[in-house]
Structure 1
């Protein structure tokens, strides 16, 4: 079986601890190289992860003719530049979210994709590929909770480290860029639509200048998604999807563990009482491995990736407009 040969641009923690091991355990991929700005760092990561090749620059890895695709876990402000360089080097690109710092950057990447129609590029919203989200979407679509009306979601953690990239405003730090993009993405995914307007409420960190607490509301032509995200609250994540006759609660919606089963709760009001509350459990799986295989399958079969750049652009556009709403204190058109 042909496998897609991945190279990793950087030794970022998310790559070393989550994504690279998951790619290595996928069915259709393998990791053949990793790069850093120093050979010492690259070699240490390569040795720890049993990766055959180490490069002391991203350019050197991109020049390797035996690499089919690159995974980019770089800081947000570097996503677009290195994704474009990856395409120009003839590599397929799997890039961490958010795809860029703004819609202008996302549009640059869309234009670059157009110049390389034979290559695949995908935003790495790994949660969408987990079976719990596939099932949640199916339940909504087949009417198990009646008419879909509203979604409530929450995502938070506490990080006050001034040296952490998530607390550096000038390179894309802050709650919305790091985790609020999930709240927006899931809303668009479940409603299968774009919001018509939105409003945001924000608290900035006085030292970092980042949005450390953000609440938003999105209007999908009378159906509503509301959410809160924060980089300085207790760790918590939950999603509730409400319909006229039922509800779906996803217990660990984003950081689904790869070493134990996940579950969602399905509540239905129009069935016998002993069937009204049901827990659906999913077998142990790694959403990052599934993501790698989904991306690889699109390459091997020459089909469209499930999270396209147009989707990434739309997500960034909604994020930008919610930020503007928070600054202006008013509803904005999305």
Structure 2
């Protein structure tokens, strides 16, 4: 294992201290328990957005804390859900009196711990709603989930719901919009290599040099099939086909196309993937009106990518375009 770390037990804490040092103008970081909040939180009269989950997916979620997106992020150990205590602490820290929305990826530990935290916060008279993200079309159930997994579509939910909250929509409206984004988003990924969890010190799974895993999860969970390496266009077609069939997407639709790197994939390869995905969508009469390309929901150093397609309308497009200022996503300010 070659990693730029010190003690594997201190990876999350030291990374959080790095976030604090680099982005102290945007966030405040608390350590006992550990959570990250937007600078100046709570914002009175504004619905607060809280998300989180296992670390190792950076910049998700701490990189998306700030104006127009999350009010708080709760990092757990690498690939392991945070316990309810820091989720409750973060929820209380950002409650501005208008309620709190928990944005939760559909992994069993995340769902259970956020549910417990919501119950505890409600006992302190904080109104909490939750939206469960389950955009992955690859598999219905996995080692980590009941139902579909929450993957890169989480970023789109956080951005668009964050814009709704920033314009001071009420909790019911922000929750409706978050759920709408999730309902209209589909994703699927591929792994070219495994990743190494720091405390494990060895690859989380094995792939031969000429193999790839279609439909991989962001923790290295198995996908739909393991096949021999193919050219990029053929891989994109394998990913995009199930995505377009699942919603389904149709000629005349306007969409946001999001190509996400899994952590170890060069940007040049992500643009090759985006090019082919855009071609296929155009052939089907689907218009790409918004785009995002880069490493936003990673799996440590895994080589691979995911494709996410969100069906847009005027409401969602306006909220996507709204200003945002976070460490990992910013425009319009």
- TM-score, length-normalised on structure 2? 0.35
Q: Which has the higher strand share?
A: 1
Q: Which has the higher helix share?
A: 1
